[in-house]
Structure 1
């Protein structure tokens, strides 16, 4: 906090792997970020750190503007971190289907307070072709050392929309 306060910043962004671990260091957390359990934006006002989550709002707004309605689409989200929580929480407002979230380790769902279907990344491979929208929120591919795919690309339906939210592909 001292370094950031010395720089007289108005705020900053949070990314992998700190979106959940920053929560105890904040003075306030928006109701949306509390519900999600993750923060990606911190605003500094009157020396208070206030946490927000804009992952879902930003992603879903762009998706609907470019893709159209997701109301009747089957959606799969890969990864169970802070970005995933934000995106899933917002997407639930716009779809009739329960969203499926796949992760390598199932214990990551223990602190989710969002109504979802869960599946392991291994098991999702047999049903990946049934999804209309697939969103990767994992760090796989984040740098040149990790160029592998998280799922077999050949199993994805050709009509599926595939999105990746990593910063550095």
Structure 2
């Protein structure tokens, strides 16, 4: 029964993501504040990322529907349903939602360069990985690379937070 609830949760959550991200993609120009003149639209990168998220959410939705169909077919034939190791999806989703809210609240105050590697490390610990000594430098380098690309190539100013004082 836990597996069936998890499949219904996956279907609902993935459908919700597809709908919300589609709305965001349709209205993304309303959220973009044009600051520095650029040859590329400031909405280009967020639009591509949103379309990528919509694509993966749709794939997740289709796979969840296929899992539900397989489960129902095996129940009709009275076969043993393979037990999927189901973590408590609601509590883990709540944890990641809290991490996302913390990222949103700290983003403007602390800045992109400080907040992003810290949140990456928190998500890594929440996923169960413990060896941050080797992962954290990669997070910092990846964040600096993203910051450089958005500033120099896309001409998008990310929040600097506490780094504006320095």
For normalisation by structure 2, the TM-score amounts to 0.23
Larger radius of gyration: 2
- Structure 1 length normalisation: TM-score? 0.23
Q: More helix by proportion, 1 or 2?
A: 2
